[in-house]
Amino acid sequence: MTAPTLAANDPCHCGSGRKYKRCHRLPDLDPARAAAEQTARDEAARRAELYVKPGKLSPRREVPEHIARPPYAHDPKGRPGVRESSAPKDAETLAKMRTAGKAAAEVLQIVGAAIRPGITTDELDAIAHEECIKRGGYPSPLGYHGFPKSLCTSVNEVICHGIPDSTVLKDGDIVNLDVTIYLDGVHGDTNATFFVGEVDEDSRKLVAVTKECLERGIAAVKPGARVRDIGKAIQEHAEGHGYGVVRAFVGHGIGRAFHSEPQVYHYDNPTARQELVPGMTFTIEPMITVGDWHHEMWDDGWTAVTVDRSRTAQFEHTLVVTESGAEILTQV
C-alpha cells in the first residue's frame, strides 16, 4: 500500500504533533539542508531516549504502629498544619536533632552503598524505609502532602523530589538520594548525589562543585550574618565554574516541623535579610545545573527537571547556628 501524501501543513505522520513541513518533510531543492535537519531530528530523538521517564509505582510501604508519626501522617492529605517559627531551639530540642540528624546520615550512607547499575529506585526506597524503622523513626517524606514514598530519588536531569519507582539505574547515571527521618519528635534531613558505575568526567566535576557549594554555604553561616550571605557564597562558586543555580527550591528551617522558616535561598536574593542567631536550625541544599537552571514539572506534581534536560546535582545538611559558626547535625 502506498503511504498517503501529506500536505505541508498536515500533522506529521510520526506523531510528534508538529506540522509535516516542520518535522519530516524534506525540502526538495536543498538536499544538504534536508540532510542536516534530519540529522538534528535523529540526534534529538536519540537524546530523548536517554532522559528519565516515569516508571511503575509499587504499593505504599507501611510503618509499624509503634513508630511515632509526625502530625501530617495523621491527615488524609498529609497537610503539615502551622509552620514552625525560626526562633532558636532550646537545648533539649537540639539534643534530639543531633540524634535524628545522625540517624538520617546513617540511612543515607547505607542506601548510597547499595547503588549499582541494575538496581531500581524502588529498591533503594525499600532500604531507606526499613533503615528508618530499624532506628525507631518514621520516614518523613512518606505521606507528606501525599508523597507516596519514603525517599526521594532524583536521577540525572531530575532536580529534586523524584519518586522511587521501577526505574532501573544505568551505568553512567548520577542519582541524588534525599533522606529525612522523624525521630523522637524532630526531623533530620540530608541528601547527597552518588555515581552509578563509571560516570563521565563532566558529571564528576558537576558533583564535586555542587558539594563545594554546600561547603561554601555552610562556611558563610555565623551569628550576625544574613540568610542572603549563604546564597551569595553558593552562587559565586557555582557560576564561577560556569554552572547554574536552581531558584525555585530552597533550604528551610527544620525541627519539630519538617519545613519551617527561614527559607534559605541558594542564590544572592537581596530580600533574604533575616539575621542568623545561635540556636537557629535549617538546611542548606544547593541544586546546581550544567545548563539552564529553570525547571519544569512532571504531571505527578513532584518531579522537577531541568528545562534543557541537562544534568543536575544536589547536596544537603541540617545545621544549627553556633556562637562561632555552624554545627552540622547530619553527620555519622
CATH code, 282: 3.90.230.10
Q: 155 and 304 in one domain?
A: yes
Question: pTM here?
Answer: 0.87
Peptide bond preceding 59 in cis form (omega within 30 of 0):
no
Specify if 319 maps to a domain. Answer: yes
Q: 237 and 153 in one domain?
A: yes
Specify if 200 maps to a domain. Answer: yes
Specify if 222 maps to a domain. Answer: yes
Domain that holds residue 144: 87-328
Q: 234 and 172 in one domain?
A: yes
Q: 263 and 116 in one domain?
A: yes
Taking only the tens place, the pLDDT of each residue in 310-325 is 999 999 999 999 999 9
Q: 132 and 28 in one domain?
A: no
From CA 292, how far away is CA 289, in angstroms rounded? Answer: 7
Q: 28 and 130 in one domain?
A: no
Specify if 9 maps to a domain. Answer: no
> What is the torsional sign of CA 207, 223, 319, 301?
negative
Q: Is the model more confident about 132 or about 83? A: 132
Q: 109 and 246 in one domain?
A: yes
Q: 319 and 201 in one domain?
A: yes
Specify if 121 maps to a domain. Answer: yes
Q: Is the model more confident about 48 or about 161? A: 161
Residue indicated by cell numbers 518514621: 138
Q: 40 and 91 in one domain?
A: no
Q: 202 and 320 in one domain?
A: yes
pLDDT beyond 90 at 41: no
Taking only the tens place, the pLDDT of each residue in 189-244 is 999 999 999 999 999 999 999 999 999 999 999 999 999 999 999 999 999 999 99
Q: 236 and 101 in one domain?
A: yes
Specify if 61 maps to a domain. Answer: no
Number of domains in the chain: 2
DSSP string, 105-126: HHHHHHHHHT--TT-BHHHHHH
Q: 25 and 119 in one domain?
A: no
